[in-house]
Amino acid sequence: MDQKELLKKMIEFNKTSFDNSFSAMVMIQNQTEQMVNTLLEQATWIPAEGKKAISEWVDSYKNGRETFKKAVDDSFKKVEDSFGGAAKAKGK
């Protein structure tokens, strides 16, 4: 097997592993968010300002998570493009 092909397979494996792990993390975070929302609905002792702060924190966390995912996807795309370009140049 060619060294570039081997590296390409390793990158694909790492991307797949990351995507699967990230999806599992998102699922757990969504379930936790649902539990927190249920708690906030039932907890009359928490003031409205506290509920708003928790809601903003959850939204901020989601935005950060999506920004991180986009950055990782962009990085994988750049690496894949660099290996794809090298393979095309070799074929010429």
How does pLDDT run across 13-71, given as a tens digit for each residue? 999 999 999 999 999 999 999 999 999 899 889 899 999 999 999 999 999 999 999 99
The string of pLDDT tens digits covering residues 71-90 is 999 999 999 888 775 555 55
| Under 8 Å between Cβ of 83 and 11 | yes
For residue 83, what are the contacts with CB-CB under 8 A and spacing of at least 6? 4, 7, 8, 11
Residue 92 has pLDDT above 50, yes or no: no
pTM: 0.78
| Under 8 Å between Cβ of 4 and 83 | yes
